[in-house]
Structure 1
Amino acid sequence: MKGLFKPRSRTPVELVQHLRELILFALRNPSDVPKKKREDKVRFLSSLSMAELGKTLVEIRTILFGEGQSEPNAEACSQLTQEFFREDTIRILIVCIPKLDLGSRQIAARVITNLQKQKVQGRLVAPQYMESNLDLLDILLPGYADDEIALPYGLIARELICHQVVAKYVLESEHMRNFFEYIQIETFEISSDAQATFKELLTRHKSTVAEFLTNNFDWFFVEYNSKLLESKEYITRRQAVKLLGDMLLDRSNMVVMVRYVSSLDNMRIMMNLFREEKKSIQMEAFHVFKLFVANQSKPPEIIGVLIQNKNKLLRFLAGLTTEKEDEQFEADKSQVIREIATLDTRERAITDSDNEAES
């Protein structure tokens, strides 16, 4: 510990080395402290260490983000980044975050997320590092269950998911099932953060998402429908139906979309969302519902329900308007109305044609 708290100007490399020493001191096992040291002295050193750790994080943040009108120095950022990844300081900083105060937690999270974008000798080093350290997500994502660290851990997790290898790891893990619980956490800030990470996972890497949804269609949409679309919380329902629309309308998910809109149970959920008082949910539900109507291979049970509810649906759609002029919405609505209005006539024509062919 000699010189641990000695104030002097440090190079970027020395700053990271100093930070590492402080973190390791903060993470030490209490049983490793010599018995001859008095408890009050140990507490004093610990307090001093955490204060110094916070100051060091501020210095590192200044190098990465600049200060005032001054831009970050590229060479200093490169040196600092190389040292962070070389000594695996990323990992121990993540592990140490629960021990930091609120302000230092936020700074640590910003430092870690910034390092994901930094280059050393012209190339990103974070992707290669993450390939060998995917288990960091096993530390970060369960943090949603802890009010103290949920937000900084969530911020870091979202940034790491920008790496496709990380997103694939999470999508194929049990963490995906846990998100349905995290999104329902009562603390609004935490549930919203979990929703943001969930959305990032399901929209960032198109081919990886399409593969995941195809291979996990049954359990995923059972959970999605029951826990999110049919949630008691308005904001959860609204975010869920919007995300569903984004996923189904993405061309990469064409196979998934066709399968989803071939289910009568799924269409009933959208029709139930039309009953919401909030127009925002009605609008988002419409963008999914139109896919059921536009499906040229609609199952007979879906056609039957559309015909049975034709008048109600036509009245509802006629009154569904946007606050601002939206030509695309109006065109989509007109098409859906025409499709529903002519269903009964077309079905009779098809039936008559089939009967004539049989005779």
Structure 2
Amino acid sequence: MKGLFKSKPRTPADVVRQTRELLIYVDLHYNSRDPKQEEKMGELSKNIRELKSILYGNSESEPVAEFCTQLTQEFFKENTLRLLVVCLPKLSLETRKDATQVVANLQRQLVHSRLIASDYLETNKDLLDILVSGYENMDIALHYGAMLRECIRHQSIARYVLESEHMKKFFDYIQLPNFDIASDASATFKELLTRHKSTVAEFLSRNYDWFFAEFNSRLLSSPNYITRRQAIKVLGDMLLDRSNSAVMMRYVSSKDNLMILMNLLRESSKNIQIEAFHVFKLFAANKNKPPEIATILVTNRSKLLRFLAGFKIDKEDEQFEADKEQVIKEISAL
């Protein structure tokens, strides 16, 4: 007889609906004296853990595509994502981690061949404002940062962030005193500037002056070694990308940029020297060097040739050696 009265197992849509109700409760009653608060927070943690288990599977079973689809449809039908983002600071550390993984997974879930997360974010772009500003709150910076990187997998969302006032804030976030948060902001910054080629090329062309003025003065000339090292790597990734060829030509026609690169070549750090060389070679290889660039290279020719002759990297790299030979040839011929 007992078996007849067993409660029906919850569907993935039921779990989302109950999670939404609990998030609404937390949003309204957090810090109130409601005696049910602890119980509700416990239920919410359990539900978010269950959502994660449906999307990722667990030690006993793989995720079921049909359940993932049901969950995704219900999740984006109403404002569950908004509630989850807004309530994240109120959740326990473990639940924040689970919630971050749920949001990350949902960005990749296809429903009838569509990424419905992208459609939802398109009409709720202010959520991106909340995620970016999360870098200002130490407790949630890494969770919001991880969510943000997943959201900018969608090209239109990356474009929104690139074109917003938030891009200027990244120059501050990358230099925050907390190493983990600064590194996370740097990873997001790199993703924004390298993932969607055509959008990045458009952004750099339109915002060339202020962007590179900030990039050179605040990142490449930063007193912080890590900041300089990460910045020169991102610069190389941007300029060596074919889609940014017009921006690259503009960058290597500036004598101020060349002086910064030559200073980076003189760094004691081998890593910075190598990354700086990859950008410096673009100045040397430019067939249409402006006279002022050629003058600087000629004035420093003997120093540069002496440096390049002894410039070695730890492992054998044919491409590096070929590039170096080419640069030596170009400078010698000036």
What's the TM-score bracket when you normalise by the shorter of the two chains?
over 0.9
Task: Name which one, 1 or 2, has greater alpha-carbon Rg.
Answer: 1
Please say if 1:115 is aligned against 2:106: yes
Please say if 1:285 is aligned against 2:276: yes
Aligned to 1:346: none
Letter in 2 for 1:192: S
Equivalent residue of 2:210, what SS? helix
Aligned to 1:352: none
Q: How far apart are residue 29 of structure 1 and its match?
A: 5.5
- Deviations along 1:247-266, whole A, 9 cap, x unmatched? 00111101100000000000
Aligned to 2:3: none
- Per mean C-alpha deviation after superposition, the further-off stretch among 8-17 and 285-294 is 8-17
Report percent identity of matched pairs.
60
Aligned to 2:27: 27
Name the CA distance, whole Å, in 2 between partners of 1:299 and 1:137.
42
Aligned to 1:14: 14
Name the CA distance, whole Å, in 1 between partners of 2:38 and 2:8.
20
- Deviations along 1:206-230, whole A, 9 cap, x unmatched? 1110010000000000000011101
Instruction: Quickly say closer, same or farther: Cα 1:30–1:278, change in 2 above 3 A.
Output: closer
Q: How far apart are residue 275 of structure 1 and its match?
A: 1.6
- Deviations along 1:297-347, whole A, 9 cap, x unmatched? 11111111111111111111111111111111100000101111121xxxx
Please say if 1:81 is aligned against 2:72: yes
Q: How far apart are residue 121 of structure 1 and its match?
A: 3.3
Aligned to 1:333: 324
Aligned to 1:104: 95
Name the CA distance, whole Å, in 2 between partners of 1:317 and 1:52.
64
Gaps of 5+ in 1: 1-6, 34-38, 344-359
Aligned to 1:57: 48
2:29, 2:37 within 8 Å by CA — same for their partners in 1? no
Letter in 2 for 1:64: L
Letter in 2 for 1:50: M
Name the CA distance, whole Å, in 2 between partners of 1:296 and 1:30.
64
Matches within 5 A, 1:314-353: 314-343=305-334
Q: How far apart are residue 23 of structure 1 and its match?
A: 0.5
TM-align CA RMSD? 1.4
- Per mean C-alpha deviation after superposition, the further-off stretch among 316-325 and 261-270 is 316-325
Aligned to 1:139: 130
Of residues 197, 200, 206, the one that matches 1:209 is: 200
**Length-normalised TM-score, structure 2:** 0.95
- Deviations along 1:29-73, whole A, 9 cap, x unmatched? 579x7xxxxx3xx1x321221111111111110000000152101
Equivalent residue of 2:36, what SS? helix
Aligned to 1:296: 287
Instruction: Quickly say closer, same or farther: Cα 1:234–1:30, change in 2 above 3 A.
Output: closer
Aligned to 2:182: 191
2:220, 2:228 within 8 Å by CA — same for their partners in 1? yes
Q: How far apart are residue 8 of structure 1 and its match?
A: 7.9
Letter in 2 for 1:123: R
Q: How far apart are residue 119 of structure 1 and its match?
A: 2.1
Letter in 2 for 1:14: D
Instruction: Quickly say closer, same or farther: Cα 1:46–1:314, change in 2 above 3 A.
Output: same
- Per mean C-alpha deviation after superposition, the further-off stretch among 116-125 and 100-109 is 116-125
2:204, 2:211 within 8 Å by CA — same for their partners in 1? yes
2:30, 2:37 within 8 Å by CA — same for their partners in 1? no
Aligned to 1:353: none
Instruction: Quickly say closer, same or farther: Cα 1:169–1:305, change in 2 above 3 A.
Output: same
Name the CA distance, whole Å, in 2 between partners of 1:69 and 1:209.
43
Aligned to 1:309: 300
Q: How far apart are residue 124 of structure 1 and its match?
A: 2.3
* Number of equivalences: 328
- Deviations along 1:137-165, whole A, 9 cap, x unmatched? 01100000110010010011001101111
Name the CA distance, whole Å, in 1 between partners of 2:310 and 2:60.
53
Letter in 2 for 1:200: E
Letter in 2 for 1:342: A
Name the CA distance, whole Å, in 2 between partners of 1:205 and 1:68.
35
Q: How far apart are residue 237 of structure 1 and its match?
A: 0.5
**Length-normalised TM-score, structure 1:** 0.89
Name the CA distance, whole Å, in 1 between partners of 2:170 and 2:314.
33
Aligned to 2:159: 168
Name the CA distance, whole Å, in 2 between partners of 1:60 and 1:13.
10
Aligned to 1:274: 265
Instruction: Quickly say closer, same or farther: Cα 1:315–1:245, change in 2 above 3 A.
Output: same
Letter in 1 for 2:15: L
Letter in 2 for 1:312: K
4+ residue runs of structure 1 moved beyond 3 angstroms? none
- Per mean C-alpha deviation after superposition, the further-off stretch among 187-196 and 123-132 is 123-132
